[in-house]
A and B are shown apart, each in its own frame.
Chain A
Amino acid sequence: MRFFLNRLGFLLISIWAALTVNFLIPRMMPGNPVDAILAHFQSEGAPLGPNALHALEQQFGVAHSSIWSQYLGYLQNLLHGQLGTSITYYPLTVTQVIERSLPWTLGLAGTATIISVLLGTFLGVYAAWHRGTRIDAGLTTVTMFTSAIPYFWIALILVYLFGFELHWFPQFHAFSTLPPGVAWWKFALDILYHAVLPGATIVISAIGGWLVGMRNNMIQTLGEDYVTFARARGVRNRRLMIAYAARNAILPNLTGFAMAIGFVVGGALLTEIVFSYPGIGMQLLTAVENEDYPLMQGIFLIIALAVLLANFFVEMVYGFLDPRARQGE
């Protein structure tokens, strides 16, 4: 319990720090983002009205109030879920844009990451247990190969082979336009169908790292005295493999899991671009292309929050798995 409160306190402080940094950075940028935005709108022949101008100035601290009152206003807006207005998708707010794209990213990259972590870890345990056999050699070689191929290359190859040549799976987008009134499960299947190729890209490129990492940790723990001692005591193979070897081998990997889960939100950028998948990564690209500072700021905030939450979650798991961590502090 004390461990939990301790970590929770740490989480809250980190979130506050992230929010504050997010507030300060645009105010420390050289030049004035408001001017950039105005120029953008002017060049598009759609000059902003005085209200919009005022809102922008508020958001980027060009306003003439003190920085302290700006900060308080910023925190207050955040509490109400207000991240400002997107320029690209005007008049949609940043919150609305993120609300629309986040589920796609979480659904695709989140699921794919969890699959690759679980599958990679499981295969790593298996390979280590059967080390030196052909299965081990096969698994290790194949995943060394797949994790050496650049990520977007896998995406392009998959699109070309299974989308363009064979037409097994759609090449783009997250869903197709279906006639209205279609059954919900047909829609769900359609989404799944669209997610296969981008999901496979993420799994193929990520699984090798997990497999090899887990295999090497596991081979090390299999050589530990407590494993030999357990074997001497007659502990059965299954329990030996899971509770003695794998349970200890997984601990050094947990930090990596935290990073991977945290980067789900921002990390699927290339996959989303190749597959025109309407997730956060695509929105970030759009925001950068259009100098949409409010949207960028909102997305960075979401990415930071995701990393912090994932870390918190994994620390909880760590505390559950490793008694030494629970006791600390």
Chain B
Amino acid sequence: MRTPLASSPTDNPDGPPLILDQVSVSFNTSKGPARAVNDVSLTLAQGEILGLVGESGSGKSTLAFTVMGLLPDGARVDSGQIRVMGKDLYHLDPEVLRDFRWKGISMVFQSAMNALNPVLTVQDHIFDTLRSHDPNITDEKARQRMLELLDLVKIDARRARSFPHELSGGMKQRVVLAIAMVFNPPVLLMDEPTTALDVVVQRSILNQVREIQAERKMAILFISHDFSLVRSLAHRVAIMYAGRIVEITASLGKSDAHHPYTEGLMRAIPELSEDEVTISGIPGNPPDLLHLPTGCPFHPRCPVAFDRCRTEVPPMLQVQGNLVACHQYSRSGEESDHGLE
């Protein structure tokens, strides 16, 4: 399963666990609608970890909440289709949806620090989750499941009676991960699960995610703005810019063909070469969602932009096995190899 894009979504439950087809989402703001997710198409294959990388505000969390069907008031899906395990969450009966969420798809929130109710213990959280889907579960069974889960994320069983304020940041993150794994869902969305943690804790949690994924084989959409972290974890990486996916790539080698934005991101990673550290970024700022540039959203910052970039949104092109939305790869022979060194 390395085809990055399904041509059209299906109701086939044996197909890819997560399919997004041309999904657009906007927020109602006082100054008009702001497109936070723009024409996004993605497919998550069974057992795959797909990284989703982008600057702050590029729409990663909005995309995750859209998939969960948990957009806040004032946000709406303008167009497109989403299939989770073959189901269209936006056309499910509310009670069926309530039950399907967490069993079919679960999510680790960006702010694990605030994802736990301050007045409930770890055990309360896990029991609540179990009982919401199986009201008749016995205490004994629920307890057993809880112990398995705590063991899975390597938290001492005595912590079951702890309140969130008694846990460290890393422990809270593990608890949230344990809660996400309550029903072993086939699809897991992880929204910057380690951003607020120090490097050591971050590494140990990522190793845990890797281990759990290797064992349970769920498909993971792993959101981060840390390019190097995602590169080491994911099978493929999708790059998001101003609400659009501009590249989906399995190879992040320097020599491959990439979107100019991806190249900029790769350059922004500090590089230890011989004695000097070089950090170079992308000049300029991401666009205002209320006044998106015409054509390619990246063109005002793009070093290789040309006329067409300013007028026409580039389609996804298959370039050396990657999917790249950039006009420079569709130019005819005579204008080619400009900025492709």
Contacts and interface: CB of A to CB of B under 8 A. Distances in A.
Nearest to B98: A234
Contacts of A248: 117-119
A321 interface: yes
B132 A233 contact: yes
B148 interface: no
Most buried by A among B102, B116, B118, B179: B118
Contacts of A321: 119
A10 interface: no
A-side binding surface: helix, strand, loop or mixed?
helix
Contact residues on B (Cβ < 8 Å of other chain), bracket: 20 to 34
A232 interface: yes
A: contact size bracket:
20 to 34
Interface stretch (B43-51, B105-113, B261-269, B327-335): B105-113
Contacts of B99: 234
B84 to A, nearest CB: 13
A228 B115 CA distance: 8
Given A225-B109, A324-B163, A234 B117 contact: no
A234 B109 CA distance: 15
A327 to B, nearest CB: 8
Contacts of B102: 232-234
Interface stretch (A22-30, A80-88, A141-149, A239-247): A239-247
A243 B132 CA distance: 13
Nearest to B128: A235
Contacts of B103: 234
B165 A232 contact: no
A322 interface: yes
Interface in B91-140: 98-99, 101-103, 106-107, 109, 111, 114-121, 128-129, 132-133
Interface in A203-236: 224-226, 228-236
Interface of A: 224-226, 228-236, 239, 243-244, 247-248, 321-324, 327
21 contacts: A225-B114, A226-B115, A226-B117, A228-B70, A229-B109, A230-B128, A232-B70, A232-B102, A232-B106, A233-B101, A233-B106, A233-B179, A234-B99, A234-B101, A235-B128, A235-B129, A244-B117, A247-B119, A248-B117, A323-B163, A324-B118
